[in-house]
Structure 1
Amino acid sequence: MTNAPSPTSPSRATNPTKAAFVIGLALSGFFDGILLHQVLQWHHFLSLVPGERFQDLRTQVLADGLFHVFVYALTALGLWLLWRARAGLDRPGAARRVAGGVLLGFGVWNLLDVGVFHWVLGIHRIRVNVENPLLYDLAWFILLGLVVAAIGWAVLRRASGNGPDSTATGSTSTTPSGRTAALAATAALLLSAPLASLPSDTGSTLVVFRPGTSTGTAINTVLASGSSLVALDPSGRFAVVKLPQRSATLALYRSGALFVTSSAALAGCLAFVERG
């Protein structure tokens, strides 16, 4: 004879912890992309991979773009899982399950990022081109990885234990409900998604030129628009520029640019099409 599940314990299908964990992963990915890739510009995804092929501008753009696409996919998965688990958001302990899951996912992302991509694969660091990159890695690993994940784990343990948010019916607890916590997590995710597609503070923009454009023509086009050339692909098809103002975008199009974008995800898709 099997024991019936507790009426206060969510089933696997209605437990929001898994959804919250995936949302935490996505939030951490957006935090990484927005802060380190766009605002501070401390690294690209393949910054430290040797070889001309991997240092090619199209490859760098493709890798950064695919990184953003992956985070957007995590966002969609997390929201779908949260929708499936919505029935469990009214159960006692749901707020802690959501908060703990988000924090755990956020911390685990950073543990995996630093541990695998920085120290095992060595494809980038938190901050490249500094005297002691390990110091930045360790600070990120400990503060945003271990500490955040440990807090999330502790919150989840309280959700399944005897904390005030995990009591049975009749509770007058003033802790936030599961729906409130889920709405807060969703709002943070939906706010981060468009922010990740905004131009960086330094105004770096990808310009794609038409097939057959020479490097000389590409350089002259960029300079004629009043923009500053940051990097140019040897083929002359891709250039990273800094626009002095928005009107420079129109000048680039009038001079033969095929596409101008500051979105890393869209730029990655364009690079993928070109390499294909």
Structure 2
Amino acid sequence: MASAPESSMRLGMAGGVLGFALGGFFDGILLHQILQWHHFLSLVPGEALRDLRMQILADGMFHVAVYLIATLGLLLLWGARRAMAPAGAGGRLLGAALLGFAAWQAVDVVVFHWLVGIHRVRVDVPDPLTWDIGWLVLTGLPPLALGLWLRRRPGPPSPGQSAGGPRGVVAALGLVLLVLGAAPVAALPPAGVTTVLVLFRSGVTPDQAFAAAIAAGGRVAWSDPAAGLLAVDLRDGGSVLDLYRGGALLVGRSAITGGCLGWTRLAV
């Protein structure tokens, strides 16, 4: 049986990983999908990687990675469930989640924006550094400060003075519901949109791509010059599964894309 400090450490790790995943969901949903300020690989040099198909594919893979991190956090939380009983466990869990959220913002800006340089908060402005710093201040410092306060807040004078079980369980359930709610939101297409973007595998010819869209019961509303990326209207009950059978690599409505295809302005 784990000691009290070890159990508390496991709970903190679970909360931190879940908060880190929530930071990724927040970033992807707001910056990639709603505001569309950048793609994950917006600033990567090279004609092949700057291709729109690769940009959208990278956004989808980014969300897949965040789903995996969230799954790891949920597994860690289940493994640390016995640590929710002591008084103050709920506050420590939420504090760890807020620190994880802040950590995501710092890692994203410092590593991906400044060190690796694959994207910035906004890539279409003359001074992207100002936007990077502003984003980090607005979304990183408040959760960092609140998380530290919750983690350092003193508990009861003696272990038997109060019971923390119910509050710890409520905090854990709330965090789980938040993560489980963010994941499907990241995969939803915009409300009322019946058009999906279909990214076809390399080697699928334009004729094959159009034929696959028609065979799936869809109507082609837009195509890139190489027909590797099609906007297909499925309002009449077309089949996403048939699109995959016809050579699609990613379809905008599928959860695997994280919604990045469905939200892109090309689908309008």
Rg larger for: 1
**1:1-276 equivalences in 2 (<5 Å):** 10-13=4-7, 15=9, 16-158=11-153, 162-163=154-155, 168-171=159-162, 177-200=167-190, 205-209=196-200, 213-215=204-206, 225=219, 227-229=221-223, 231=224, 234=226, 236=227, 238-241=228-231, 243=233, 246-247=235-236, 249=238, 258-259=247-248, 261-263=251-253, 266-267=256-257
> Per-residue displacement from partner, 1:104-163 (whole Å, max 9, x unpaired)?
0000100110111111111111122123322321121111112312221221111xxx34
Unmatched 5+ stretches in structure 2 = 259-268
Task: Give the 3 Å change call, closer, same or farther, for CA 11–45 of structure 1 in structure 2.
Answer: same
Could you tell me how far apart the structure 2 residues matched to 1:211 and 1:113 are? Answer: 30
Which amino acid in structure 2 is aligned with residue 103 of structure 1?
Answer: L
Q: Residue 72 of structure 1: CA displacement?
A: 0.9
- Rounded to whole Å, the distance in 1 between the matches of 2:222 and 2:212 is 11
Q: Which runs of 5+ in 1 are unaligned?
A: 269-276
Measured against aligned partners, the alpha-carbon deviations of 1:168-203 in whole angstroms (never above 9, x if no partner) come to 322389x97111100000000001111111124695
1:272: which partner in 2? none
Distance 1:37 1:210 in 2: 23
Q: TM-score, normalised by structure 1?
A: 0.76
Mapped partners of 1:30, 1:71: distance in 2: 7
| Aligned mates of 2:192, 2:35 — CA distance in 1 | 9
8 Å CA contact retained: 1:207, 1:257 = no
Tell me how far apart the structure 1 counterparts of residues 201 and 17 of structure 2 sit (CA, whole Å): 40
Percentage of identical aligned residues: 43
RMSD (Å), alpha carbons: 3.5
Which range moved further: 175-184 or 143-152?
A: 175-184
Is the alpha carbon distance of 1:217 and 1:81 closer, same or farther for their aligned partners in structure 2, counting shifts above 3 Å? closer
Greater Cα shift, 103-112 or 143-152: 143-152
- The total of aligned residue pairs comes to 250
TM-score, length-normalised on structure 2?
A: 0.78
CA contact (8 A) 1:111 1:146 kept: no
Question: How far apart, CA to CA, are the structure 1 residues paired with 2:96 and 2:71?
Answer: 16
